Homo-oligomer: A and B are copies of this chain.
């Protein structure tokens, strides 16, 4: 079974912020090498594609399993309710595709080391 990855960000009225997510997705695709069939991003609101559109695009690209990775720092309502609700709608339309919600960025064990690596002073 092939697996695709969808990075899901909040989305911003400021298009440069959305472009930061798109650029990160390009770096993520490179870093993932052959681990995933497809790597793409989607947004909860305010930017394109929205989550359903992003999932459907991966399904049209042949995805059999999709891992949704929330690019969020805290387990607020967006992570615990809104993203699962968006996923549930697409699941209902595409029961043949296994859509898995991954833990969000803020749960990463190595966040402290990443933050320390950022400090140049």
Contacts and interface: CB of A to CB of B under 8 A. Distances in A.
- The copy count of this chain in the complex is 2
Given A20-B75, A74-B12, A108 B118 contact: yes
Contacts of A73: 9, 20, 71, 73, 105
A115 interface: yes
B67 A31 contact: no
Contact of A69 (B7, B16, B20, B119): B119
A28 interface: yes
Interface string A24-40: 10011011100100000
Q: What range describes how many residues of A lie at the interface?
A: 35 or more
Contacts of A83: none
24 contacts: A3-B121, A7-B115, A12-B76, A16-B75, A20-B73, A20-B74, A20-B106, A21-B74, A24-B106, A27-B111, A28-B115, A28-B116, A31-B113, A69-B115, A69-B118, A71-B73, A73-B105, A102-B120, A102-B121, A103-B118, A107-B118, A110-B117, A111-B114, A114-B114
